[in-house]
Structure 1
């Protein structure tokens, strides 16, 4: 899609199981510093766990300005709605762009591009997780509701009290 080169972050299968938004943020921040970039574009949230944390954590680690849920990004033009001082991190909304479909000649050119492989340790990043899952349990079963015929019956049911103890 027009990139001059790529960087593949090589994470072992064992480490990948425990990789969360914080570990990913540490890798992105270290890579941004190493590559001396001025703009980091990220999606607004992960599709697997819906976290919406990586962009904000990356901002905290870099101490850069941030723009979140961007639906349009324009650099150095008057149509800019929100102005961010660069370097900055921007998390993108679904409507940010319309992907281009690669043509066969461009696919062939892309195969010749350099892809550097980097381990998190090469960036000085410790991706070990400090979270331990002790147990996973289903929430308690909610009590069944009561069907009432009239509004007046609702007042009678509400006075019983015990029907509504399971929550709102």
Structure 2
């Protein structure tokens, strides 16, 4: 079974995001970038499937300019076998990304496609669902457990009411949630080995992917500054402010 894992380069979750002065985008100058945490979970799950003898090959793919090769090498250091960079502009909408991944998956004849449920920069939570629809494959989102049973998958997913278990026939698309696993740290020997693993570069045109211009970034606004709290001298004063100023009490 071949597993294809889509990964994305994002601002490290420990970094405070700054908006450019002209509000055209976020400021990426001298900002630490990292592998999207949900994508890292997807890579870990694929590697575990290979270690268990269920998967025969783990291929990671990322869409973006040359710097995303850094995150691909990270995924290779975590245990993936080879990587593919699709050289494209960084600002692509979810549908364009799904169309590119569809072509890669078809070219690779992937049996299982794993994606993080969302990227922490755009928070769209769309690509996995769109990819499954384009490929007409069964899908399971927000997976907290994945078990391969012959030619099918048993996926436990997190929903508002608790947990839901689905049975899917392979090939399938699965998006990963936080509680699926805890990603490992890449060891120094594996980091060195990752430098020698294959990393192919392709373009959307070579893949025959049709890109859309369905979304346009107009402006970026920082969140409103949080106002300082105040102290009140009595319960009556508190209720008065909640009723007349905050207007949260009738």
Q: Is the structural similarity TM-score above 0.5? A: yes
Q: Structure 2: any 5+ residue segments left out of the alignment?
A: 1-77, 155-164, 222-241
Which residue pairs with 1:48 in the alignment? 121
Match of 2:211, SS state, is: coil
Which residue pairs with 1:65 in the alignment? 138
Cα RMSD after superposing both structures: 2.9
Compared with structure 1, are the counterparts of its residues 28 and 95 closer, same or farther at alpha carbon in structure 2 (3 Å cutoff)? same
Higher Rg of the two aligned structures: 1
Match of 2:199, SS state, is: strand
Q: For 1:105-144, what aligned pairs fall within 5 Å after superposition?
A: 105-131=189-215
Q: Which has the larger strand fraction?
A: 2
Which residue pairs with 2:90 in the alignment? 16
- Cα drift, residue 130 of structure 1: 3.8
- Verify the 8 A CA contact 2:137 2:172 in the aligned structure 1: yes
Moved over 6 A (4+): none
Q: For 1:28-107, what aligned pairs fall within 5 Å after superposition?
A: 28-76=101-149, 80=154, 81-107=165-191
Compared with structure 1, are the counterparts of its residues 108 and 131 closer, same or farther at alpha carbon in structure 2 (3 Å cutoff)? closer
CA shift digits 1:71-108 (9 cap, x unpaired)? 1112128x944221000000111111211112111111
Residue range with higher mean Cα deviation, 95-104 or 57-66: 95-104
Q: Structure 1: any 5+ residue segments left out of the alignment?
A: 139-144, 149-153, 155-168
TM-score (norm 1): 0.73
1:147 aligns with 2:244: yes
